[in-house]
Amino acid sequence: MIKPLWLKVRPPTGIKFQRLRKALNDSGLNTVCQSADCPNIGDCWTRGNATFMIMGSVCTRNCRFCAVKKGKEGEPLDPLEPEKIAIAVKETDLKHVVLTSVDRDDLKDCGAGHFEECIKALKQPGMDISIEALIPDFQGDTMCLQKMIDTSPDIIAHNIETTEELQGKVRDRRAGYRLSLEVLEFIKKKSPSIYTKSSLMLGFGETEDMVLRTLSDLKNAGVDIITIGQYLRPTLHHLEVKEYLPPEVFEFYKKKAQEMGFLAVVSGPLARSSYDPRDEQG
C-alpha cells in the first residue's frame, strides 16, 4: 500500500538537531526517536524533547506491530545506565524526557527496580526537566506499579495500543486490554496528582465504534492524556496496514476525545505515543 502525501516528512536538519544527535550517539544510549525512525524526531529534538529506551534492546514479548528485537531473555542490565542518562540530559539541555523500555518478563520484578533508578537519576537537584515514564504492564504487579508512582514522574503512560477486538492480533498474548486498563486505573487511584496517558494506533481495520468505545474505556479508567496516530508497518514481516486514515478522521477523534473530557489530546497521522502533550492541554 502506497503511503499518502500527509505521511511524508522532510529529513530533520539544524544545528541543535545535529548537536543532540551526536551527543546521544556518543553516550551509547538507546533512543526510540532513532530506533523507531520516528517522523517527529526533528521537531521534538529541536524543542529539547527525547525518548530513551532503557533495559536493553531485546524485548521478551512479540507484539506484531513492533520492530524491536525479540528474545526469551533480554540483555544484562547496565547498572550505570541511570547515571549515563542523567549525564546525557545535562549535556544536551533537554527539557522533556520520556523513559520507556522493552518488556522484561525474564526479570523477577520485570525491571521495575531499574526503571525506578533511572527516574530517580533524572530527579537530582538542578535537573530542571519534566519526566514521562512510559511503562510496560509489569504483568499487573501492583508492587512494581507502586515503585513507579513513588518516584513521582510528571506523567505515567501505558499504551493500550489498539481496540479490545484487535488485541490478540496486534499485541503479544501476555498483554491484554483489561490488564492495560487496570494498570492505568491503579496508577490514577493511587496518585491522582500524576497525569496518566495512553496511546492508540489506527489502521489495523478497527471501526469507528471500536475506537470510540476504547476512548470511553480509557477515560473511565482515569486517563488524562491520549495520543492517536497512524500505524506504520516497520517491515514486511510485521502486520500490514489495512488503511491509511486521512487527517480529518484524526481531527474527528480528537474532537470526540475532547468532548469526553481528556485533559490533552494529540491526534494525527504522525502522532506518536511519546509525543509531548503539554501544548495540547486546554
Question: What's the rounded mean pLDDT across residues 92-116?
Answer: 93
pLDDT band at 281 (very low <50, low <70, confident <90, very high): very low
Residue 71 burial (C-beta neighbours within 10 Å; 0-12, 13-18, 19+): middle
Of 15-29, 143-157, 243-257, the least confident: 15-29
What average pLDDT does the chain have? 87
What pLDDT is recorded for position 174?
95
Residue 27 burial (C-beta neighbours within 10 Å; 0-12, 13-18, 19+): middle
Residues constituting the chain: 282
Rounded to an integer, what distance in angstroms lies between the CA atom of residue 171 and that of residue 180? 12
pLDDT of 166 higher than 50 = yes
pLDDT band at 187 (very low <50, low <70, confident <90, very high): very high
pLDDT of 179 higher than 70 = yes
CATH number, domain 5-280, options 3.30.70.270, 3.40.50.10490, 3.20.20.70, 3.30.950.10: 3.20.20.70
What pLDDT is recorded for position 43?
52
What pLDDT is recorded for position 51?
84
What pLDDT is recorded for position 93?
77
pLDDT band at 39 (very low <50, low <70, confident <90, very high): low
Domain-wise residue ranges, the chain = 5-280
Question: What's the rounded mean pLDDT across residues 107-127?
Answer: 94
Q: 235 and 210 in contact (C-beta within 8 Å)?
A: no
pLDDT of 117 higher than 80 = yes
Question: What's the rounded mean pLDDT across residues 251-256?
Answer: 98
What pLDDT is recorded for position 92?
78
pLDDT band at 13 (very low <50, low <70, confident <90, very high): low
Take residue 150 and report the three cell numbers written for it: 513513588
pLDDT band at 5 (very low <50, low <70, confident <90, very high): confident
pLDDT tens-digit readout, 263-275:
999 999 988 776 6
pLDDT of 256 higher than 90 = yes
Higher pLDDT among residues 48 and 253, named by residue = 253
Three-state SS string over the chain comes to CCCCHHHCCCCCCCHHHHHHHHHHHHHCCCEHHHHCCCCCHHHHHHCCEEEEEECCCEECCCCCCCCCEECCCCCCCCCCHHHHHHHHHHHHCCCEEEEEECCCCCCCCCCHHHHHHHHHHCCCCCCCCEEEEECCCHHHCHHHHHHHHHCCCCEEECCCECCHHHHHHHCCCCCCHHHHHHHHHHHHHHCCCCEEEEEEEECCCCCHHHHHHHHHHHHHCCCCEEEEEECCCCCCCCCCCCCCCCHHHHHHHHHHHHHHCCCEEEECCCCCCCCCCHHHEC
pLDDT of 181 higher than 80 = yes
